[in-house]
Amino acid sequence: MKKIINDPAAVVGDALRGMAAAHPELLRVRTDPALIVRADAPQAGRVALISGGGSGHEPLHGGFVGPGMLTAAVPGAVFTSPTPDAVQAAIAEAEAGAGALLLVKNYTGDVLNFETAAELAGLEGTDVRAVIVDDDVAVKDSTHTAGRRGVGGTVLVEKIVGAAVERGVDLAGCEAIARRVVGRVRSMGVALTGPTVPHAGTPSFTLVDDEVEIGIGIHGEPGRERIPLENADGLVARLLEPILADLPFEAGDEVLLFTNSMGTTPLIELYLAHGVAERLLAERGVRVRRRLVGPYTTSLDMQGMSLTLLKLDDELTELWDDPVRTAALHW
């Protein structure tokens, strides 16, 4: 294992301190328990929008804390859910009377711990609601979850609901928008290599030189199938077909296309794949109205990519276009 780290057991805390040093104008960081909060939080009259999960997926979620997106993020250990007390601490630090909305990727530990924290905060008088993100079409059940996994679509949910929060939409309205986005977003990924967790020191899985894994999760979970390596046209088609069939997406639909690196896939390959996806969608009569390309939902040093499609309407497009200023996303 070659990584730029000190103690493998201290990677998350060390990274959080570095993040705080890099972005003091945007956020503040706690390390016990670990949480990342907007520098200007709490904001009276505004819903607290909180997400989180295991570390190793950066910039998800801490890189999306700031105006127009998350109020707070709760990072667990690498590929490990944050504890309920950490989520409770984030709610207490971020919420200012308008309630809190938790955006939770569909992994068993995340769901249990965030919902436990919501119940405990509710007993103290805070209105806390949770929306589960489950956009991965690859499998119904996997190593870490009952039902579909939450993957790249989480970024789109966080951005769109974050814009609603910034506009002053109330808790019920923000929850409804989150559920709408979850219902309209689908994803699927492919791995060329497995990720290496620092404290493990070896890849989560191995592939021979001419193999890829189709339909992987963001923790190195197995996918639908292991196949011989294909060219970009073939791989992109294998990801798009099940996405298009699942919602389904149809000719005339307008979409946001998110082409995501799983960690070490370079932009030259990612842009190439994005161009293929745009061409294939155009052949289906699906219009790409908005785009996002880059490493936004990663799996440590995994080489691979994922595609996410969100079926847009005018309101969702306007919320996507609203200003955002975070460490990883800004316009």
Coil, helix or strand for 63?
helix
Residue 141 has a pLDDT of 62
The residues facing 50 across adjacent strands are 72, 102
Confidence (pLDDT) at 66? 98
pLDDT (0 to 100) of residue 147? 85
Cα dist. 208→138, 194, 226 in Å?
Answer: 22, 11, 10
Active site residues per annotation? 57, 219
The pLDDT value recorded for residue 159 is 99
pLDDT of residue 146: 72
Q: DSSP code of 168?
A: T
pLDDT for the residue numbered 143: 59
Parts of the chain with a pLDDT under 70: 140-145
Instruction: Kindly tell me the sign of the dihedral angle through the C-alpha atoms of 270, 275, 281, 287.
Output: positive
